[in-house]
Amino acid sequence: MRQTLRSFLKRGPRTQCFSELLGTYLLVFFGPGSVIAASMLGMTSTEALAFVAAVFGATVACLILLLGRTSGANINPAVTLGGALAGISQRGIVGPYVLSQLAGGLLAGLTLSLAFGAHGSVTDLGSTKLASGVSPAEGVALEVAGTFVLVVSALTAASFVKSPLKQAILVGGTLSTIILFIGPLTGASLNPARSLGPSIFSGYLDDQAVYYVGPFIGGAIAGLLFRRVNRVRTSPTQG
């Protein structure tokens, strides 16, 4: 048993994928779990928004500190895509990382269902939802914009910030801020894995395409733009 565990941990790619699965699992458990908890505690909408934003941001910050050196703590398919397109990470990791992240999200959705049961049905296990009056097209645009900002912050942290603590504060703080701004409108998913698990296991599938299309587009734009800006910044001055 010990030998099997040691041999597993010695294999870099497997360890990295497990890190992404575990990190995404924890994010999707604690993040949507905070939505359920806010409902159970009878918080006002303002209190709930602040609470959920703080939990998501703190969870991401902690995961960057715990798992950043192992896999980069992407814990988000949009961040993984953006990093690959920006040239910061190898494109070969995109498939394995995304599959690991989606698996983590699904396992978290199952855990939320088992842990909260009927209490979770009130919020559909913390599923992301469009607010009344927000169309799917508007939802996609908001998710694109929010994910773009989040991925740029993650790429900036990975490229220019050496301190893991400062990286964690930058990315976690950015996520909390985005949730405060667009959370009341779309739920601020910014992460396909975050939306997948709760929606599947609650059966809430309305407008869920918004939370896959928007983040992937936002992550791709952020990665391509980041790569372009870096090329311009590092190119020799023409005389």
167-190 pLDDT, tens digit each: 999 999 999 999 999 999 999 999
Nearest to 147 by CA among 106, 93, 193, 198: 193
Phi-psi region of 131 (alpha: psi -120 to 50; beta: other; left: phi over 0): beta
For residue 221, give every residue at least 6 positions away whose Cβ sits within 8 Å of its Cβ, in sequence order, or none: 144, 148
Cβ neighbours of 10 (radius 10 Å): 9
What is the per-residue pLDDT for 5? Answer: 37
For residue 89, give every residue at least 6 positions away whose Cβ sits within 8 Å of its Cβ, in sequence order, or none: 72, 80, 83
Q: Nearest 5 degrees, angle CA 149-CA 96-CA 71?
A: 60
In this prediction, what percent of the chain has a pLDDT beyond 70?
92
Given a cut of 80, whether residue 13 has pLDDT beyond it is yes
67-117: per-residue pLDDT in tens? 999 999 999 999 999 999 999 988 899 999 999 999 999 999 999 999 998
In this prediction, what percent of the chain has a pLDDT beyond 90?
86
Given a cut of 50, whether residue 3 has pLDDT beyond it is no
Task: Report whether 136 contacts 130 (CB < 8 A).
Answer: yes
- 158 or 235: whose pLDDT is higher? 158
What tokens appear for 213 in the block?
């299309």
Given a cut of 60, whether residue 49 has pLDDT beyond it is yes
When pLDDT is averaged across residues 108-131 and rounded to a whole number, the result is: 93
Torsions phi, psi of 204, nearest 5? -90, 105
When pLDDT is averaged across residues 50-65 and rounded to a whole number, the result is: 98
How confident is residue 237, by pLDDT bands cut at 50, 70 and 90?
low
- Domains along the chain with CATH numbers: 2-234 (1.20.1080.10)
When pLDDT is averaged across residues 14-29 and rounded to a whole number, the result is: 97
When pLDDT is averaged across residues 20-47 and rounded to a whole number, the result is: 97
Nearest-angstrom CA–CA distance, 184 and 211: 15
Alpha carbon distances (Å) from 16 to 19, 28, 66, 186: 5, 18, 13, 31
